[in-house]
Structure 1
Amino acid sequence: MDLRRLSSFLAVAEEQHFGRAAARLFLSPSALTGHIQQLERELGARLFHRSPVSLTPAGERFARHARSLLDAVHSATDDVAGASQPDVETLRIGIMGHGSAELTPKVIDAFRRARPGIRLALETLTFTEHTSALLSRRVDVAFVRPAVADERIAVDVLSTEQRIIVAPARWELADAPSVRLADVLDLPFVVVPPHTPRPFTDYLYFTEARGGEAPRRSPDHAVTPQEVLTSVSAGRGAGSALSSFARYYPWPGTVSVPVVDAPWEHSVLATRLGDPNPAVRLFRSLATTLAERFPVRP
């Protein structure tokens, strides 16, 4: 399967617009459309509704596989590149969603300037990789949320933010300046896979507030913010996040509303407990120092 077609497919899925996706990939609109048509012929299924642009049920299923395939290719490329340069030290940085908002690029840039001889490899993490990417040694440090509850993992809190609900713009609560937990607990939430770590699902679904009960489920599954937003914009479910999410993911057809009585939650830098790597220790030190100097704005 042509990787260029996969990249084109994911760009259209995320942008929900063929023109913007083509500009993002530096392709002509006709070339990108050709990629999608070729992919649809190869799969024998229509992947997008064309007006307005949205994923079909087959497209929603394929999006999960396409992202995993590209991630695997990128990981393999990085791994081989590292093997071909055995004398170049590499620090692998995992980032879930937008990480710790504006702090994420600040920390990475500060480390790059402090240790220019160390190669940095950035790895996108899905909701299911809250701890597994660290424990499998795929990454050395990880920007995740909420705080990790695992005796094998060390945690540095980088931000503490208000919770928001991400809802379809057509829903009635989207017009409210704020909501309370009682207003959102009965909403259908986009579903994450069963192997998603419990701390993340508890955070996502406000499990403590609902007394441990499972939420109502939307028809859709997601492992990335983009997949959540695709479902929300189609009016098929709701998601939840930290307040900085709204700055990083403005998405047509969705609205982010503060949940005023929900406990605030952390974004953190997670590392393996007791990791002796000097690069990891320096990265942690820079992250905590910058978090104190440049707190994420509420």
Structure 2
Amino acid sequence: TFDDAYRSILANAFPLLAERRLPFTVFVATGPVDEGFGSYLDWDALRQLADSGLATFGGHSVSHGHLEARRDGEDDAGRRSRVRREILDSLARLRAELGDAVIDAHAHPYGEYSRATEALLAAEGLWGLAQQSGAVGPESRATRVPRFPLYHGADGDERLRTALAARPLEPGDEADPRVFLPPGEASPQHWRFRPVPGAWREQGLACYGADGTPLALARDGAWIEVTLPAFRPGRNKVNCTAPASGGGHAWLSRLWVRADEAGTWLRE
């Protein structure tokens, strides 16, 4: 998958994919395409990809903004309405230009989402693709499908081999399922979950902060409790891995998005 619809998809990736007849999906932020941003493909180029028979397309919002961030004068109902328009208008614009090549899927901009946005996707029959690492399995949540980010600095052969060898590790039940933490809401100090049994060895389970620092684990029957680091405004992730049967690792990445006092976070 590719997010945003940058010109490098056509110039660099497409010739290699076409040579190997490998299908792919582009998640398009439609606003920059309509506005003619120079780094983005235009509609004619996107149609060229569609005509290859290899490309499908999903939504990536209209604006590619931080959708969960509060706007001035906006309440929760207003935010939900705006997020709904961003997601559905993007898909409608894609279908108008690319027709049947558009799939019922939305990739969360910056990988950020909330339980409310997941509920919207589920109600609309849409898949949601995240940006946290992990392999897809039968218990993967349709509104936060994991993907391994491969980008400059994390795009070497070893990283790719690690991703391809990954096996699913799903959190199952969670004592506190929050993802988005609005202003004034305390960040959790622990993450307590009951992982879905799978082809991985629980005795080798380890969890790490985003900087790679090992996190303390405690077990209570089938439940795992992870002591969390202090969260900063923006995206906060914890990665858990365990040896998988047959080699490689089972992999789980959990996201929290914390707003600051103004209801926003870093601007990118």
Normalising by structure 2, we get a TM-score of 0.30
Normalising by structure 1, we get a TM-score of 0.27
